[in-house]
Amino acid sequence: MGNGDTPWAANEPVGKSAAAADYRAAQATRSAVVPGDPGDPGLRPTRDEGSFSLTGEMARKLARDQPPDNPGPVPAAPAVTAEWALWGKETSETAYHVLRCSDGVFSRDDFREVITRYASGVRDRLPQYTVCWIPSAQGHHAYLGVAIHELADPDPARSGGRSRIVGGREVEYVRLFCVLYSEMAKFAVSYPNLVELVTGYQLPVGNASPIRIELRAASGRHRTIAAQFRVLAENVAALLLTTRPVCVLGAEGTTAEDRLRFIELVMSLLPYGLRSRLSASTWASSTAQDLKLRLFFANAPRDDGKTSHVTWGQPEPPHLSGEYEAVRLYLEWLRRTGSGAAPALAGMTEPPMRFTRENVYWLVDHLPTDRSVTETLEELAQNLRTADQAAIWTGVERLTRHLTSQDGRFKAIDREACRQVIVRRGMLKRHPALSQDTKEGLYSALLQLAFDTPFTYASYCEVERVVGGPPRGTLRKVLLQLKFSSFMPLLLAARAEPTFRDDDLAAALAQVHVPPTEPIDEVAQLTGKIRPEHRAVAYDFAANYLRSARDAWSELKERGYLAETLNDLFPRDLEAQRTRLMETLRFMYGGPLSQSQIDDLFSDSRLHLTGAFEQAVLSMAASRGAGREIARQAAFARLSNAGFEDEALLLTEGTTERYRPPFRERVRQLPRRTVTTAALFFVIAAFVVYLLVTAAYH
Amino acid sequence: MASRTNGSQPPPAGPPGITMLGARQTGKTTFLAALQIALLRKPDLGWSLRGENPGSTKALIDFVNDMSDNHVFPQATNAIENYRWSLEGEFPKQGSWEWQRWRFRRRDRIVSIPLDLVDAPGESADGRQMFGRAVTERLVENLAQSSGIVVFYDPVSEFDRGDAFRHTFGVLTQLRSMAQRKGRLPHYVAVCITKFDEIRVFESAYKLKMLEIGAEVEEFPRVPDGDAEAFFGRLVRLSRSDNAGLILPLLHQTFRKERVRFFVTSAIGFYLNPTLGVFDPDDYQNHLPPVDPEPAKIRGAIYPINVIEPILWLGENVRTAG
């Protein structure tokens, strides 16, 4: 791993002087303790140690001026149809009932039975989620359902016409959405994804048609859950195969959304077909009688004698007695297969599957062998050529499932193999025939397969190489949502769109508390590793960001006016160095430099004197005759920096004796402003004397 | 502990249960929630409440915290809840004689009454089948397996809605049809006339001259148990529906008359001004109506009235029956 791969906070202090090294060490310490948000990284600005990511809002803001990939009509994404019902109370009522429902397959009574069947008791917090199944019966096929238990939004505009309080009590509304099992299985839709897709439907009075839901990729948060709780999820999946309900204890501090993701993780470790018999809830009362849930979270164990209990965050292996030999074998298979298990199980969609002992034996006998990730990639590349939307969607889901279940154990060799396929088949290039959501899901999966996270500068360069230029359009949008190892890849991804403004990125970095000195320190450290075409962009942004520091003046002095950094970045381009140094000096001193300011500049021990710096000072000198003096001071500084302090001192003293310039020349060296001010002073003084003299004689 | 697979043992057999029956918002859950507070308010009775399983213990704690600390009512029940608590009483020197320290002495008597309390959503008893069929069936099964039933009658909501009969008749009819032997059912029934603290109920009792001052230092008024049935008879006349008067005959027709008792109760009790320390007839409303967007709240400290008595009566009889 080169310097470009060095994580953000792990930068070694660089610099020649000990003071600068100490300072940078202090900076590194400071940056390590920048407050990071321990909560959901998708919701708040995050700054982990060694990396940071933008919030969804920031990423959207940075991508706001992005032109669409496809100039023509946008192809439609794959879609499913949802039957729905709303359970609650009207303002004038006291009883819970189905307030309204779709006029599709299910009647009002059907919905009522489903909602009350899966009632799981009083919840201490809302929202909560229940996932359930409806068997095929009376002319309809099997359905899967997701119920959102919630209070009405306090904002009437977003409450869908519901009242938050009725009869003195807060009303727990239930929005139930049911999708055909066959549609869910065809696209391997996950429950968290379905919740994301339907959450905006508030089901107001009026339209009673079933809802058409266009599928799009799920957010990446589930991968965090997968990485943390994979072993526990494997245990729970095995325990479910004992046909006993499983209760997860001790997860009170976890959000309902994360619990739903855990439920999905568990379900992904079972054949997809078992979802047609698997109900679960993010919360159930421990005293609720006759629960119809197989998997649920609770705050106290149940004493019904049949429930297995596991504790959140404690993945100790389950005690499976001899009668559960098949379950033990299944658990071993899960452990052995690792990340390949979930994609393989997602393909087992054929019902009927039931939680019976016979089915478990059958399952162990027919455990699937998964296609490798590279095989899936090759197949996906082929489908991208033919623009088969449904096949592409399924392929992306398969890759996503693979990523979700790989538990951070994706080996470097596997990643390299994936990268080779992706590069060889040009999969990161534009795909105008795909819908926007499919493209986002595709690029997201490909980037995560091909590159390590946090996303490094080296990875960004690789993307540019594959795409044949800066990543534009949807690829850039997806890139901006990644976690970055440092500001460089983020800056370059943002700048890939010409309409981008540096101010937006600076605001975003400030929001995640990136200190003003960090970007420039990173540039200074990477100088030799930064590709020539990125250097100007990186330096200009970092220098500009540094100027936003509260004590920018001293920070710039501390870094020797960035002369050394510029020399390293543009070694053969004196003009590029000179103009940038002049900008810095202009920022620091505001205008032409007086002799005393020039003396200050050259006497600064932190200055690494370069030819460009000398030229920049010369260009900015207030006096036109200062050239010789500047040359002398530069020579002195060079000797001092080279370790010849005594000789430099001798030179200075010697020149004072031998080369004392004549008076007229010394006057000529005075800055014009000083001469003008002195002349004005003498004129005023003469006028005052004249007034006094005339007053005395009159 | 990561995982406990509890083997293949059947669920532990519970004691004969007590099931709550009443229309929605008649105060069933609040009544249960106030049970612990009622016992703490009356330490002289010598009874205390304990949870018999972790879930029930947690519910007990949450109930007390919600009502006494947060001053809020328990949330509405949306599934059948089963609380396994037990009443424990320790009565000094009332037990058997035994030889101790050179002479015969009486041992302390420790009594434990198991309470297997079933609380169902009010909607599940609705004869119009507003709630799920399976839940209603489960409620009737619970009633059939119980030895005691607490019937809740809320005069305020009955005056507004008049649905008490509808929530009683259908369920009791199904219950009778499930009984294996003919004749009246053997259950003990405590009919609780709830929300005595509400102005309309209290005023009614006052006008009917059915009030007496309780023995507590706070001098809370109450309706004597002997007058409770008569009070019930007068209140049903105020119902919005014409058939509330049928509830009493229905109860007597279904259960043995000597096993039905009436209690006038209030789970939250009257408001007690701390500076006065005694009941103030001009300022006693403890129930704060909802003010949007806040739900209804409890104004002050909770002094339950007649909450422990029906449960104690049922518990003792159920224990004998069990």
Distances (CA, A) of A219 to A195, A225, A226, A407, A408: 11, 12, 13, 17, 17
Examine the domain organization and report whether A111 and A180 are in the same domain.
Answer: yes
Query: Which of A166, A170, A287 to mutate against chain B (most B CBs within 10 Å)?
Result: A287
Query: In A, which residues are within 8 Å of B11 by CB distance?
Result: 303-306
Q: Map A114-145 to HEC letters.
A: HHHHCCCCCCCCCCEEEEEEECCECCECCEEE
Query: In B, which residues are within 8 Å of A235 by CB distance?
Result: 2-3
A165 with B81: Cβ contact below 8 A: no
- HSE-up of A176 (CA within 13 Å, CB side)? 33
Examine the domain organization and report whether A247 and A322 are in the same domain.
Answer: yes
Domains within chain B, CATH numbers bracketed: 17-92+105-176+184-321 (3.40.50.300)
Query: In A, which residues are within 8 Å of B131 by CB distance?
Result: 95-97, 112, 116
Spatial CA neighbour of A193 closest among A171, A211, A216: A216
Examine the domain organization and report whether A171 and A240 are in the same domain.
Answer: no
Query: In A, which residues are within 8 Å of B73 by CB distance?
Result: 168-169
Distance, in angstroms, between A499 CA and closest chain B CA?
Answer: 46
Q: What is the helix (H) or strand (E) element at residue A178, kind and residue range?
A: strand A173-180
Query: In the predicted model, what is the mean pLDDT of residues A444-451?
Result: 89
What is the distance between the alpha carbons of residues B116 and B145, in angstroms, rounded to a whole number? 11
How many percent of chain A have pLDDT more than 90? 28
In a domain, A546, yes or no: no
Whether pLDDT at A13 is above 80: no
Spatial CA neighbour of B130 closest among A99, A138, A103, A204: A99
A305 with B59: Cβ contact below 8 A: no
Spatial CA neighbour of B218 closest among B297, B271, B282, B266: B271
What is the distance between the alpha carbons of residues A471 and A492, in angstroms, rounded to a whole number? 9
pLDDT, position A689: 95
Asked if residue A260 lies in contact with residue A219, where contact means CB atoms within 8 angstroms, the answer is no
How many percent of chain B have pLDDT more than 90? 51
Pairing of strands B146-153, B188-193: parallel
Spatial CA neighbour of B125 closest among B176, B155, B156, B164: B164
In 3-state terms, what secondary structure has residue A464? helix
Whether pLDDT at A37 is above 60: no
Whether pLDDT at B14 is above 90: no
- Mean of all residue pLDDT scores within chain B: 86
In a domain, A697, yes or no: yes
A120 with B79: Cβ contact below 8 A: yes
The residue range of the domain holding A132 is: 79-214
What is the distance between the alpha carbons of residues A33 and A180, in angstroms, rounded to a whole number? 50
Amino acid letter, A309: H
A286 with B126: Cβ contact below 8 A: no
Most confident of A375-384, A606-615, B237-246, B263-272: B263-272
pLDDT digits (tens, 9 = 90+) for A85-100: 999 988 877 788 999 9
Asked if residue A493 lies in contact with residue A428, where contact means CB atoms within 8 angstroms, the answer is no
Asked if residue B193 lies in contact with residue B153, where contact means CB atoms within 8 angstroms, the answer is yes
Whether pLDDT at A84 is above 90: yes
What is the distance between the alpha carbons of residues A161 and B225, in angstroms, rounded to a whole number? 46
Model confidence at A60, pLDDT cuts 50, 70, 90, reads: low
Asked if residue A115 lies in contact with residue A174, where contact means CB atoms within 8 angstroms, the answer is yes
In a domain, A59, yes or no: no
pLDDT, position B228: 95
Average the pLDDT over each of A533-537, A651-655, B253-257 and give the range with the smallest value: A651-655
pLDDT digits (tens, 9 = 90+) for B185-213: 999 999 999 999 999 999 999 999 999 99
- Mean of all residue pLDDT scores within chain A: 81
Distance, in angstroms, between B52 CA and closest chain A CA?
Answer: 10
Task: Name which residue leads in pLDDT, B26 or A123.
Answer: B26
pLDDT digits (tens, 9 = 90+) for A232-260: 999 999 999 999 999 999 999 999 999 99
Examine the domain organization and report whether A203 and A235 are in the same domain.
Answer: no
Pick from A169, A244, A300: CB nearest B295:
A169
Please give the residue of chain B at the shortest CA–CA distance from A95: B123
Pick from A164, A235, A286: CB nearest B58:
A286
Q: Which two tokens stand for residue B44?
A: 């002289």
Phi-psi label, residue A660: left if phi above 0, alpha if psi -120 to 50, beta otherwise? beta
DSSP A41: T
Examine the domain organization and report whether A243 and A341 are in the same domain.
Answer: yes
DSSP A621: B
In a domain, A67, yes or no: no
DSSP A322: G
Whether pLDDT at A425 is above 90: no
Global pTM reads 0.67
pLDDT, position B10: 37
Phi, psi (deg, nearest 5) at residue B264:
-100, 115
Average the pLDDT over each of A22-36, A278-292, A448-462, B163-177 and give the range with the smallest value: A22-36
Examine the domain organization and report whether A159 and A276 are in the same domain.
Answer: no
Pick from A170, A291, A303: CB nearest B53:
A303
Phi, psi (deg, nearest 5) at residue B100:
-140, 135
pLDDT digits (tens, 9 = 90+) for A107-129: 999 999 999 999 988 777 899 99
Chain A and chain B share a number of CB contacts under 8 A equal to 169
Decide which of A189, A214, A239 is a domain's last residue.
Answer: A214
Amino acid letter, A411: K
Pick from A94, A97, A287: CB nearest B55:
A287
Query: In A, which residues are within 8 Å of B75 by CB distance?
Result: 122-123, 169-170, 172
Please give the residue of chain B at the shortest CA–CA distance from A169: B295
Examine the domain organization and report whether A246 and A179 are in the same domain.
Answer: no
Examine the domain organization and report whether A141 and A197 are in the same domain.
Answer: yes
Query: In A, which residues are within 8 Å of B4 by CB distance?
Result: 301, 308-309, 319
pLDDT, position A267: 94
pLDDT, position A15: 32
Task: Name which residue leads in pLDDT, A253 or A53.
Answer: A253
pLDDT, position B151: 95
Query: In B, which residues are within 8 Å of A119 by CB distance?
Result: 78-79, 132, 135
Whether pLDDT at A31 is above 60: no
ipTM comes to: 0.83
Pairing of strands A308-311, A280-281: unpaired
Pick from B55, B138, B289: CB nearest A290:
B138
Examine the domain organization and report whether A295 and A316 are in the same domain.
Answer: yes
A286 with B55: Cβ contact below 8 A: yes
Phi, psi (deg, nearest 5) at residue B23:
-70, 170
Decide which of A365, A384, A405 is a domain's last residue.
Answer: A365
Whether pLDDT at A653 is above 80: no
Query: In B, which residues are within 8 Å of A121 by CB distance?
Result: 77-79, 81
Task: Name which residue leads in pLDDT, A646 or B74.
Answer: B74
Spatial CA neighbour of A359 closest among A241, A265, A266: A241
In 3-state terms, what secondary structure has residue A81? strand
Query: Which of B70, B78, B119 to mutate against chain A (most A CBs within 10 Å)?
Result: B78
pLDDT, position A514: 83
Query: In B, which residues are within 8 Å of A97 by CB distance?
Result: 123, 130-131
Q: Is the peptide bond before A351 cis (omega within 30 degrees of 0)?
A: no
Model confidence at B3, pLDDT cuts 50, 70, 90, reads: very low
Asked if residue A108 lies in contact with residue A98, where contact means CB atoms within 8 angstroms, the answer is yes
A309 with B1: Cβ contact below 8 A: yes
Query: Which of A118, A122, A162, A295 to mutate against chain B (most B CBs within 10 Å)?
Result: A122
Task: Name which residue leads in pLDDT, A390 or A88.
Answer: A88
Q: Which two tokens stand for residue B284?
A: 């006693």
Examine the domain organization and report whether A97 and A120 are in the same domain.
Answer: yes
Whether pLDDT at B319 is above 80: no
B58 with A299: Cβ contact below 8 A: yes
Query: Which of A128, A231, A289, A328 to mutate against chain B (most B CBs within 10 Å)?
Result: A289
Task: Name which residue leads in pLDDT, A450 or A402.
Answer: A450
Within its chain, how far is the Cα of A526 from the centroid?
23
Asked if residue A491 lies in contact with residue A505, where contact means CB atoms within 8 angstroms, the answer is yes
In a domain, A200, yes or no: yes
Examine the domain organization and report whether A153 and A189 are in the same domain.
Answer: yes
Model confidence at B1, pLDDT cuts 50, 70, 90, reads: very low
Distance, in angstroms, between A158 CA and closest chain B CA?
Answer: 15
Amino acid letter, A397: E
Task: Name which residue leads in pLDDT, B14 or B190.
Answer: B190
Query: In B, which residues are within 8 Å of A317 by CB distance?
Result: 2-3
Whether pLDDT at B4 is above 50: no
Pick from B75, B142, B295: CB nearest A122:
B75
In a domain, A395, yes or no: no
Decide which of A158, A192, A214 is a domain's last residue.
Answer: A214
What is the widest separation between alpha-carbon atoms in chain B?
Answer: 70
In a domain, A616, yes or no: no
Pairing of strands A295-298, A280-281: parallel
Query: In the predicted model, what is the mean pLDDT of residues A436-445?
Result: 86
In a domain, A248, yes or no: yes
Asked if residue A249 lies in contact with residue A236, where contact means CB atoms within 8 angstroms, the answer is no
pLDDT, position B127: 74
What is the distance between the alpha carbons of residues A458 and A469, in angstroms, rounded to a whole number? 14
Domains identified in chain A, total number: 3
Q: Map chain B to HEC letters.
A: CCEECCCCCCCCCCCCEEEEEECCCCCHHHHHHCHHHHHHHCHHHCEEEEECCHHHHHHHHHHHHHHHHCCECCCCCCCCEEEEEEEEEEECCCCCEEEECCEEEECCEEEEEEEEEEECCHHHHCCCCCCCHHHHHHHHHHHHHEEEEEEEECHHHHHHCCCCCHHHHHHHHHHHHHCCCCCCECCEEEEEECCCCCHHHHHHHHHCCCCEECCCCCCCEECCHHHHHHHHHHHHHHCCCHHHHHHHHHHHHHECHHHEEEEECECCCCCCCCCCCCCCCCCCCCEECCECCECCEECCCCCCECCHHHHHHHHHHHHHHC
pLDDT digits (tens, 9 = 90+) for A134-164: 988 777 789 999 999 999 888 877 887 888 8
A289 with B79: Cβ contact below 8 A: yes
pLDDT, position A290: 85
pLDDT, position A454: 85
Query: In A, which residues are within 8 Å of B56 by CB distance?
Result: 286-287
pLDDT, position A9: 29
Examine the domain organization and report whether A253 and A338 are in the same domain.
Answer: yes
Whether pLDDT at A318 is above 50: yes
pLDDT, position B12: 41
Whether pLDDT at A184 is above 70: yes
